[in-house]
Amino acid sequence: MEIKTEPGKREKEWEPRIMAFLCRWCSYAGADLTGSSRTSYPPNVRILRVPCSGRVNPLFILKALRSGADGVLVSGCHPGDCHYTAGNYNARRKFAVLARLLEYVGIDPRRVQFSWVSASEGEKFAKVVSGVVAEVKALGPNELFRLTNYEQTVKEQ
């Protein structure tokens, strides 16, 4: 289904919705710092805190896209700094494979992005989010992987 307001109006007002999985120890804290430093960043991001970037199952990323997210950001601690020692190393391997798979299937890799943001990198977080939002906005709404297009389903009966 597509969420439509009035025909035409949707295009002018469209803003991408980005799902961000941030690790609790580094990236989430970094995002907090961005806020407390009064550095502004686009409000398009919905943040979901996870204990570690290694907690992020590729399923979450795919399901986010399926549920209507236009883009996904996963961010964790820098390699070597993981609170759980190796969580982000495992994540790095998983995401390397997933990113290539998504690209092979035709989902633009700019929709699903990854970053290392530490707890002190408030500025970086703002930059990363701005970058993701800009790139996804340029790509347009995620029409491809969204929940079944309702109108098309009904037409096909």
Partner 1 sequence: MYLKISRENLRKWLTELKKGAEVLVPEKVNGLWTYTPFQGQDPLPNFLNSRIPPKSVFFPSMQALVEWKSSGGSVQLRSLTPAAGPKVLFGLRPCDARGLRILEPVFSQDNQDIFYGQNLSRTLLLGVACRRPCPGSFCEQMGIDPQAAKDFDLSFREITQGFIVKVITEKGGKLTGGGVFFTEAAAKEWEEARSEIKNKNETLSFDLEKVKTRVGERFTDEEFWMRVSLKCLNCGICTYLCPTCHCFDICDLQIPGQGIRFRCFDSCAFPGFTKMAVHNPREEKWRRYRQRVSHKFNFFPQNFQNVACVGCGRCVVHCPVNLDLRQVLLAISG
Partner 2 sequence: MAEARAEVRKEDLVNLVQDLFSEGRVDYFLGYQPGTVKFKTTPLIIKKGEDIQKLAVDDYGHYNLTFYLKEIKGRVGILVKGCDSRSLLSLLREGQIKREDLYIVGLPCPGQIDPKKIAAALSCEPEDLEQIFRRGREMIAKVGGQEKTVSLTQALLEKCLACRYPKPLVFDTLLSGEYTAPISPMKRPEDDLRPKPAAEKWAFWSAQFERCIRCYACRNICPACFCPRCLVEENMPQWISPLPSKGDNFLFHLMRLMHVTGTCVSCGECERVCPMEIPLMKLNEKMNDDLKELFAFMAGVDLEKALPFRTYHQEDPDDFIK
The distance of closest approach from Cβ of residue 157 to partner 1 in the complex, given in angstroms and rounded to an integer, is 5
Please work out the total of residues on this chain that contact partner 1, with binding judged by CB under 8 A. 11
The site map against partner 1 for 27-66 (x = CB under 8 A) is: ----------------------------------------
Span 128-147, contacts to partner 1 by CB under 8 A: 147
The distance of closest approach from Cβ of residue 25 to partner 2 in the complex, given in angstroms and rounded to an integer, is 17
Q: Is 59 in the site for partner 2 (CB under 8 A)?
A: yes
Q: Is 10 in the site for partner 2 (CB under 8 A)?
A: no
45-49 own/partner pairs: CB under 8 Å, 24+ apart:
45/18, 45/19, 45/20, 45/73, 45/129, 45/132, 45/133, 46/17, 46/18, 46/19, 46/20, 47/20, 47/22, 48/19, 48/20, 48/21, 48/22, 49/22, 49/23, 49/24
Contacting residues for 155 by C-beta, under 8 A, at least 6 apart: none
Residue among 99, 123, 130, 137 that touches partner 2 (CB under 8 A): 99
- Could you identify the residue written with the tokens 């979901």? 48
Q: Please say which residue, 10 or 144, places its beta carbon nearer to partner 2.
A: 144
